[in-house]
Chain A
Amino acid sequence: EIVLTQSPGTLSLSPGERATLSCRASQSVSSSSLAWYQQKPGQAPRLLMYGASSRATGIPDKFSGSGSGTDFTLTISRLEPEDFAVYYCQQYGGSPPWTFGQGTKVESK
């Protein structure tokens, strides 16, 4: 089973600042298999990025993804109030099980 470790656990930033979230895999993951999700309290997750760097439909370009192998990054260029949420990475589409990271909470400082 591939273990995904996200860091930091919590990121305290102000609106307008840049957020950089990390997702590290215990073994190499195909870039096409790495996805990022946003989840707000009381809501279902929302797909942000797939294939490590492709934005899902309707996702603004302030969100970007990068990485390969075992190290992946989600960047939010300028935080807006609606971006404060929990973010999860997931490896999906290769051999199951399709694991999630434990999440990074982006909170307002």
Chain B
Amino acid sequence: EVQLVESGGGLVQPGGSLRLSCEASGFTFSRDSMNWVRQAPGKGLEWVSYISYTGLTIYYADSVKGRFTISRDNARNSLFLQMNSLRAEDTAVYYCARDFYDFGIDYWGQGTLVTVSS
């Protein structure tokens, strides 16, 4: 069974940093590209970042470019999102999500809530 378990969310002040982690199991993590997608409270979905299975291809949404860094450790079956210079508008549930052969996103974690507030 595919499982994606996020951790690392919490309350942080504007301008602060946070590192999200996602532990994957139930599939060969090193063969699949991954994404982070977020959802602000009561709002729709926003794609945040993508990393290929090798880690060599990385994309970001303009809203986070230069502030967030996606990475992965295939030996530890883990995906990460380093978030710096956080803003109130970054407040959201952050989902770790698996790429489905460039057609979509087929598995999602349960999400971790990041709240940016003073």
Contact = CB atoms under 8 A, between A and B. Distances in A.
6 contacts: A50-B103, A57-B106, A88-B44, A90-B45, A92-B102, A103-B45
A1 B108 CA distance: 24
Given A93-B102, A97-B61, A103 B44 contact: yes
Q: How large is the interface on B (under 10, 10 to 19, 20 to 34, 35 or more residues)?
A: 20 to 34
Contacts of A79: none
B59 A96 contact: yes
B46 A100 contact: yes
B62 interface: yes
Nearest to B111: A44
B104 A35 contact: yes
Contact of B108 (A32, A45, A97): A45
A51 B100 CA distance: 11
